[in-house]
Amino acid sequence: MPRTEPPFQQAYRKVRAALEAEEGTLWREVRGAVHSQYDEIPFWILLYEDSDLGTCHRRFAAIAIPWMDVAAPLEFTVSYTILKGWSDTQLDMADGNAEIVAAVGNPAFGARSETGGRRRTSVFTAAESGRRPA
C-alpha cells in the first residue's frame, strides 16, 4: 500500500516551491523546514539590500495564506533577513498564521529590526544580500 504524505507536508512543498520561484526577483534566497514537533513550518527569507519588506511580505502572505488550513495544525512562520559585511539584520518576523495575516499592510511591520554580528552558521547559501551581477 503506497504511503500518502500528510497534508501539512504537501502544503510545505507547494509553498516552498512558490517562494523559490520568486528567488532572484523579490528576494535572494528562501529556506524552509517542517518542525512538526513544534507545530510550525518556518521559512527564512534572505532579502536583497534594496528589497521592500512590505512588498515581500504581501507576496509571502499571498502564497502562504491559501495553504494555512491544509497545513493545520502546523502554522507558518517567516523571518526576513539581510546579510551585509559582518552584520546580520533580521528585519522582522511573523510567528504564526495570525501574525502573518496581521502584518499584511501593517506599517509597523519591520519596526522590530535587529542587527547583530554575523553568525558562524547560516541557513542561507548566499554570503551577502547584494544582487548578483547580470
Determine what percent of the chain is predicted with pLDDT higher than 70: 93
- 133 falls in which pLDDT band (50, 70, 90)? low
Parallel, antiparallel or unpaired: strands 75-84 and 27-32: unpaired
Q: What is the pLDDT of residue 134?
A: 46
State which fold the 7-105 domain adopts.
Answer: Alpha-Beta Plaits (3.30.70)
Supply the pTM of this predicted model.
0.90
- Residues 50 and 131: their CA atoms lie apart, in Å, by 9
Q: Name the residue with higher pLDDT: 117 or 93.
A: 93
**Domain chopping of the chain, boundaries:** 7-105
Q: What is the pLDDT of residue 2?
A: 65
pLDDT per residue over 106-128, tens digit each? Answer: 999 999 888 887 766 677 867 77
Q: Residue 26: what residue type?
A: L
Grid coordinates in use for 32? 524552509
Is 18 buried (19+), middle (13-18) or exposed (0-12) by CB count in 10 A?
A: middle
Q: What is the chain's length?
A: 134
- 3 falls in which pLDDT band (50, 70, 90)? confident
pLDDT per residue over 52-89, tens digit each? Answer: 999 999 999 999 999 999 999 999 999 999 988 878 88
Q: What is the pLDDT of residue 92?
A: 93
Grid coordinates in use for 129? 544580500
Tell me the average pLDDT of the chain: 91
pLDDT average, residue stretch 33-40:
95
Q: What is the pLDDT of residue 121?
A: 66
